[in-house]
Amino acid sequence: MADRRVLMGIITGAHGVRGEVRVKSFTAEPKAIAGYGPLEDEGGARRFALAVRGAVKGVLIARLDGITDRNAAERLKGTRLYLPRAALPEPGEDEFYHLFELYAAESNCEYRSEAVRHLLEKHYRPQGRALRRCHARDFLKQLRNYCTYNDLPLEMRAEYIDTVSRSFNFFAGFGAVQ
């Protein structure tokens, strides 16, 4: 189950006597943790809606539905807060470019932003395909396989991108946005 969820934060302790908790957020903007909707504990048995009240010394002060006193808040210390991966918003184009840059470096493939632009202009926008975080990783794996099989240098080139997109039916199952 954990592989289908993202760790968003951890409850570090109680704050005050009215059931508020201290939360260490792992989101880029710490207060954004409350905007993703209910979070789950590690086992997925409990769900928590967070309402951020403030921030103190690198942690957020938050209220959780159903937690009304300090004792209940203290029992949650150490609780990891997860979000189902499917609840994450789709990446924007800037993040999509960045993901390709990261995975290209991991794959020992020179990153070329113009190649990603070509991919978006030819294989995403015309078909109305949604951007997904896994696409950069999966596409570069297919590109590596194509280059290896054809004894080509591993490069992000428009003609390779077109071939991988067509020949490997890379987008099967990633239908257009409805």
**Domain limits at 149?**
93-167
Which of 87, 110, 145 marks a domain boundary?
87
* pLDDT value for 90: 83
Which of the listed residues 87, 117, 132 is the one where a domain comes to its end? 87
Q: Are residues 74 and 104 in the same domain?
A: no
Q: Residues 79, 112: one domain?
A: no
Instruction: Write down how long the chain is.
Output: 178
* pTM (predicted TM-score): 0.61
Specify whether 16 is located in the same domain as 62. yes
Q: What is the SS3 assignment for the chain?
A: CHHHEEEEEEEEEEECCCCEEEEEECCCCHHHHHHHCCEECCCCCCEECEEEEEEECCEEEEEECCCCCHHHHHHCCCCEEEEEHHHCCCCCHHHHHHHHHHHHHHCCCECCHHHHHHHHHHHHHHHCECCCHHHHHHHHHHHHHHHHHCCCCCECCHHHHHHHHHHCCCCCCCCECC
Q: Residue 140: what pLDDT? A: 94
What was the pLDDT predicted at 133? 81
Count of domains observed in the chain: 2
Write down the pLDDT at residue 178. 36
pLDDT of residue 169: 61
The segments of the chain whose pLDDT lies below 70 read 1-3, 168-178
pLDDT of residue 148: 95
